[in-house]
């Protein structure tokens, strides 16, 4: 059995320098997160606001907490004081609430726009058109306490690696188009959050800058099923 520290070291050893590891610690106990922290890991991903708040309070201050799950507007207030990056923004309504709570906390909160890139119906996320509508809106321009730093997506849960690769390529194309159309010369717009335990190697070759890895570090891997396409 490898320790959490050894698994993190092994994954980090495979990542190019510009790719950062988000250790997805959702559902995992404080003790296991502490173990990863002691091994040098600083970025952790959670998908429930209250759970992330509790873990933030129990663990060292210099952890970078990334929110990676579907975020309800009424939960934003729990994480606004400390969250480092919200990967999962999928509406203008949510962006407005994040802006409001960021303002209350005298912060600027970094956010990624989450895109629906999988062929599966179940995943959350924007279409390219919806993102263009948000970013072109007058309302968006008034939001001074949020900063869009890139894009996020989840590929299909499938063994079909060609399909997964196409979906990641598509996300990268969206990133490049948005960069050209809305964020030219914006040095903060630089993140492509893609890749999980089962597909991060593909994501890295397609330009990921943030991989979100849970089960390969902390165990309890979910089984990947066949494509639903
Ligand atoms: C759970 C989760 C992950 C990590 O998945 P693993 O397959 O356990 O690596 C990554 N991203 C999101 C959005 C998640 O919810």
Per-residue burial over 97-132, b if 16 or more Cβ lie within 10 Å, else e, is: bbbbbbbeeeeebbbbbbbbbbbeeebebbebebbe
Q: Please answer whether residues 142 and 135 qualify as being in contact, where contact means their C-beta atoms are separated by less than 8 angstroms.
A: no
Does ligand 1 have an atom closer than 6 angstroms to the CB of 153? no
Domain ranges of the chain: 4-218
pLDDT tens-place values along the chain, 229 residues long: 899 999 999 999 999 999 999 999 999 999 999 999 999 999 999 999 999 999 999 999 999 999 999 999 999 999 999 999 999 999 999 999 999 999 999 999 999 999 999 988 766 899 999 999 999 999 999 999 999 999 999 999 999 999 999 999 999 999 999 999 999 999 999 999 999 999 999 999 999 999 999 999 998 744 444 433 3
Q: For domain 4-218, is the CATH number 3.20.20.10?
A: yes
Q: Please answer whether residues 49 and 18 qualify as being in contact, where contact means their C-beta atoms are separated by less than 8 angstroms.
A: no
Closest CA to ligand 1's atom 15: 69
Q: How far, in Å, are 54, 131, 168, 171, 203 from residue 178 at the CA level? A: 35, 9, 15, 11, 19
pTM of the predicted model as reported, rounded to 2 decimal places: 0.95
Name residue 210's beta-bridge partners.
20, 193
DSSP for residue 198: T
195 CA → ligand 1 middle, Å: 8
């Amino acid at each position: 059995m490898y320790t959490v520290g050894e698994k993190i070291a092994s994954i980090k050893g495979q990542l190019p320098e510009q790719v950062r590891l988000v250790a997805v610690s959702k559902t995992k106990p404080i003790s296991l997160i502490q173990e990863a922290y002691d091994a040098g890991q600083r970025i952790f991903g959670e998908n429930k606001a209250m759970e992330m708040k509790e873990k933030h309070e129990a663990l060292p201050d210099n952890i970078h907490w990334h929110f990676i799950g579907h975020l309800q507007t009424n939960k934003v207030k729990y994480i606004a004081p400390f969250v480092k990056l919200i990967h999962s923004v999928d509406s203008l309504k949510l962006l407005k609430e994040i802006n409001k709570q960021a303002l209350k906390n005298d912060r600027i909160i970094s956010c990624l726009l989450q895109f629906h890139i999988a062929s599966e119906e179940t995943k959350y996320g924007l279409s390219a058109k919806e993102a263009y509508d948000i970013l072109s809106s007058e309302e968006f321009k008034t939001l001074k306490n949020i900063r869009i730093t890139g894009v996020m997506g989840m590929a299909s849960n499938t063994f079909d690696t060609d399909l997964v690769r196409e979906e990641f390529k598509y996300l990268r194309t969206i990133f490049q188009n948005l960069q050209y159309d809305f964020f030219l010369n914006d040095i903060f717009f630089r993140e492509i959050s893609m890749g999980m335990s089962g597909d991060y190697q593909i994501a890295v070759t397609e330009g990921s800058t943030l991989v979100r890895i849970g089960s390969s570090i902390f165990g309890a891997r979910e089984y990947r099923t066949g494509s639903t396409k």
